Amino acid sequence: MSRIGNKAIVVPEGVEFNVNGQEVKAKGKLGELELRVHDEVSIKMEDVANDDGKTEKVITLAPKSNSRFANQVWPTMRTLVNNIIVGVTEGYAKNLEIKGVGYRGQIQGKTLVLAVGFSHDVKYDIPEGVEVTMLGPDGKPSQTDIQVKGINKQQVGQVAAKIRGFKPPEPYKGKGIRYVDEYVIRKEGKKK
């Protein structure tokens, strides 16, 4: 049995959640997301009384068969359903920082323009559904801090990885684009 798959998902107040066969939809204050649950996994939503006596909507997922694949995909589907609920209520964010002398970025309309040591500026068109801002941790505008926000966890992570991929941190001086909490292993340079 899966520890993750066994956990029930409590639908928070203000979220409209619909199950239509294998299709699920979540609608919250930040937007609307939908997901198709794999055919090997069953999903059901029911009202359950909590400790306070109030009823709350609870989503449970279970494998339809006892096959190895069904047991593998079941916790994944539970996590994906939880991700869309968190996405429409709180949203997701990834923070990146640009390290290096003269390295900086700016937003021009719907394009992120990065000056990261190449002979030309790197231009990246920001996809629909994701918001990219040049804000520092204190919320003030910055040329070296990038914040990627959105309601779709996969899309936010993909955009952040794409931006980091333009100039990953190098091991000698640590120059490049990195996640804020990323640890870069450093190498020692040449010795005379």
Residue 60 has pLDDT above 70, yes or no: yes
pLDDT of residue 3: 87
The pLDDT tens digits of the residues spanning 1-24 come to 678 888 889 888 888 888 888 899
Rounded to 5 degrees, φ, ψ at 150 are 180, 180
Sign of CA dihedral 175, 176, 182, 186: negative
pLDDT of residue 1: 67
Extents of the domains making up the chain: 3-89, 92-179
- The terminus-to-terminus CA distance of the chain in angstroms comes to 59
For residue 130, the cross-strand partners are: 150
Token look-up 């429409």 returns 88
Of 47, 36, 42, nearest in space to 11 by CA: 47
SS (H, E, C) 141-174: ECCCEEEEEECCHHHHHHHHHHHHHCCCCCCCCC
pLDDT of residue 127: 93
Residue 151 has pLDDT above 80, yes or no: yes
pTM of model > 0.85: yes
Rounded to 5 degrees, φ, ψ at 76 are -65, -45
pLDDT of residue 52: 76
Residue 192 has pLDDT above 80, yes or no: no
The pLDDT tens digits of the residues spanning 12-57 come to 888 888 888 889 999 999 999 999 999 999 998 888 877 777 788 8
The pLDDT tens digits of the residues spanning 101-147 come to 999 999 999 999 999 989 999 999 999 989 999 988 888 888 999 99
Q: What residue type is 17 in one-letter code?
A: F
> Distance between CA 180 and CA 150 in Å, rounded?
18
**CATH-assigned architecture of domain 3-89:** Alpha-Beta Complex (3.90)
Q: Does domain 92-179 have CATH number 3.90.930.12?
A: yes
Token look-up 């920001």 returns 126
